[in-house]
Homo-oligomer: A and B are copies of this chain.
């Protein structure tokens, strides 16, 4: 029992870190599964480029939007946003929006990075692009440009052209590492600057985080109690035919204040 509690405590303490880790792992696993089972480069001049790009970018887009949708803060910001005149377009809204985007971008960036390191999506897309093809084939066999789309399937005729597969894979993996490096550096700079500009100190920030968490918890408990009582009154009224006294509920304006 003690062990279970320790695990639960650890879970509550590092919830967001754990969550990000799980998302990253699931995305990476999903990418490996997709590129192994579903992905099969058509090796035709017309379809290579769109096919590769669709597999590289559409799942990333889907993950990005899902990241937005699954975040509770998105909905807290949006709900009733059009009804209010201020508060949405303000500076605070912008900051929250940027933070949300950063959190939602984790999964799609993982997808793209893992896909580039794996290489198969990029090989397929690049071998179908005429611009890249003419650059790759410069100074080689004249049939190179024509045979290039067949490279990802290993069916290109002169073995010299088939060797281009290694070049494509190298390009893809270099791109993947560059992407990872850029993202990490960008994230670090952003966090540092925002922390540096904050008017409150480290301990105070920690205190506010604890306070916000506690407030959420207490608000939820109180709301649950309140709702139970209200429901009980109304049901009693219905079955016994005697309407209850007016029940004291916070107004819509009060609710908007604490959100």
Contacts and interface: CB of A to CB of B under 8 A. Distances in A.
A50 B181 CA distance: 15
A30 to B, nearest CB: 13
B185 A206 contact: no
B195 A218 contact: no
Contacts of A41: 166, 170
A1 interface: yes
Interface in A125-170: 163, 166-167, 169-170
A76 interface: yes
Nearest to A169: B40
B180 A58 contact: yes
B232 A195 contact: no
Contact of A169 (B42, B54, B207): B42
A202 B44 CA distance: 51
A227 to B, nearest CB: 4
Q: How large is the interface on A (under 10, 10 to 19, 20 to 34, 35 or more residues)?
A: 35 or more
A36 interface: no
Contact of A54 (B1, B50, B177, B240): B177
Interface of A: 1-4, 38, 40-44, 46-47, 50-51, 54-55, 58-59, 61-62, 65-66, 68-69, 75-76, 78-83, 117-118, 163, 166-167, 169-171, 173-174, 177-178, 180-181, 184-185, 187-188, 191-192, 195-207, 210-211, 213-215, 217-220, 222-224, 226-228, 230-232, 234-235, 238-241, 248, 250, 252, 254-256, 258-259
29 contacts: A3-B4, A38-B118, A47-B166, A47-B167, A54-B178, A55-B173, A55-B177, A58-B180, A61-B184, A62-B181, A65-B184, A65-B188, A69-B187, A75-B202, A79-B198, A80-B202, A81-B195, A82-B197, A200-B255, A201-B255, A207-B227, A210-B227, A211-B230, A214-B227, A219-B235, A222-B235, A238-B250, A240-B248, A241-B250
